[in-house]
A = this chain, B = another copy of it.
Amino acid sequence: MTISEAESAIMECLWQGAPRTAEDILAEVAPRQGWQEGTVKSLLNRLLKKKAIKAERDGRRYLYTPLLSREKYVSQESKGLLDRLFGGRVAPLVAHFSEQRKLSKKDIAELRRLLEELDDEH
């Protein structure tokens, strides 16, 4: 089952810190996204149905916790894109951004460091 973009906004909030109450999530996410209360409620329910989060009762309310990890989600999404557009390989993706001049100084520095690390690991 897939997490939609709207749903992922809720997930981001939960990944940032869980468990959280619906109230918290609402306060955090709704203004930024321009959503009404009902929207957040619906998304929480869809996420529950998809087993991407769980809810434990805490008195009269629920505490929501992610079941799907951000790592896993990011992996899925990234792999999907890579496979669809770059033959499943990372270098062509970086080359693409390089061609588009979308590599910042910082990116370049970090990539250098990364490659060095990979060296060290032997």
Question: Interface of A with B (CB < 8 Å)?
Answer: 5, 8, 74-75, 77-79, 81, 84-85, 89-98, 100, 102-104, 106-108, 110-112, 114-115, 118
Q: How many copies does the complex hold?
A: 2
Bound-state Cα–Cα, A5 to B84, Å: 9
**Nearest-Cβ distance from residue A66 to partner chain B, whole angstroms:** 15
Mostly, the A contact residues are helix
Bound-state Cα–Cα, A84 to B76, Å: 13
B111 touches A96 (CB 8 A): no
Bound-state Cα–Cα, A94 to B106, Å: 13
Chain B residue contacts of A93, Cβ below 8 A? 78, 93
Chain B residue contacts of A85, Cβ below 8 A? 74, 77-78
